[in-house]
Amino acid sequence: MIVVGGGVVGLTTAVVLAERGRRVRVWTRDPAGRTTSAVAGGLWWPYRIEPEALVGEWSLASLAVYEELAAEAEHTGVRMVEGVHADTVLDGLGPWAARVPGLRAATGAEYAGVGLWARLPLIDMPAHLAWLRRRLLAAGGTVERRTARGFDEAFGEAPAVVNCAGLGARDLVPDSAVRPVRGQLVLVENPGIRTWFTAADSASATTTYFMPQPGRLVLGGTADDGDWSLDPDPAVAAAIVERCARVRPEIATARVLGHLVGLRPARPAVRLEREPRDGGRTLVHNYGHGGAGVTVAWGCARAAARLVEEPAAA
């Protein structure tokens, strides 16, 4: 079978399928290091993703996997790190929040305002994507640099296809409901910060967060709906540093290492469903995860695998 898309959702889905005994080929337009997933800050948290009724279970399933992977952080890129979600309260979250171990109101020593304290998976995305690829290859799967021009092309080589094309689904399906939400990041030398911090307003295009990753501190961010530009904006970068420095003043003088821009594949709701095709062929869609792809990757991958394994309708 063929999985279209080599980001975190595509690779995770391919791993689940391959480890269930499927012969899996991943078609990816870009190498993993150049996908949107590689740009992600990497914090587990259900952020701007629907449908809420399903997202909680997908997220919790992924959380359980990441907690296990954190035991081998040097290989998997997954660490459990403490931090604060500012301006967030438990009552404002879905039922899933009650099942996140240790999630609680932040103390005054941890954050001066209202917020939640948590110890959550923080994933070094380039390292994790490389690890997923190795795990897939070990399970007998393959990764091919190949751009899918249509599903008929894939069905010419396999009876089952899983569409994890992310933003590419806009043209591939085609699905005009898929749109980019641009995120800009600044990478700086870490001045000794060991905890993450986020402050996000769902009604605003600006967010404030910093995440300590190996060899760097990741600063963000933006959520520019419908913006296709991949060019970093110097004024936006300066504003990101300024916002983060209000929380941790030492960030203001940290040496800048680089700038990143990614286009989150947003959709009003994740599309995770089976689409039977003629001749007993199966197309499963798994896309539209926005900025929460890493958060739901394992839960969605398992759901997609179940859809692949469903018997064809008579």
* Statement: residue 225 has pLDDT above 90: yes
pLDDT at 202: 67
CA 191 to chain centre: 26
Work out the pLDDT band at 209, boundaries 50, 70, 90: very high
Domains with residue ranges and CATH for the chain: 2-80+122-178+267-309 (3.40.50.720)
pLDDT at 83: 98
pLDDT digits (tens, 9 = 90+) for 226-279: 999 999 999 999 999 999 999 999 999 999 999 999 999 999 999 999 999 999
* Statement: residue 312 has pLDDT above 80: no
pLDDT digits (tens, 9 = 90+) for 134-179: 999 999 999 999 999 999 999 999 999 999 999 999 999 999 999 9
Long-range contacts made by residues 273-281, C-beta under 8 angstroms, separation at least 24? 273/307, 274/307, 274/308, 274/310, 276/312, 276/313, 277/151, 277/155, 279/159, 280/159, 280/312, 281/155, 281/159, 281/160, 281/161
pLDDT digits (tens, 9 = 90+) for 287-306: 999 999 999 999 999 999 99
Average pLDDT score over residue span 91-118: 95
Q: Whole-model pTM? A: 0.96
pLDDT at 268: 98
* Statement: residue 125 has pLDDT above 80: yes
pLDDT at 314: 38
Across the chain, what does the average pLDDT equal? 95
Q: Percentage of the chain with pLDDT > 90? A: 93
pLDDT at 48: 86
Work out the pLDDT band at 54, boundaries 50, 70, 90: very high
* Statement: residue 100 has pLDDT above 60: yes
pLDDT at 33: 82
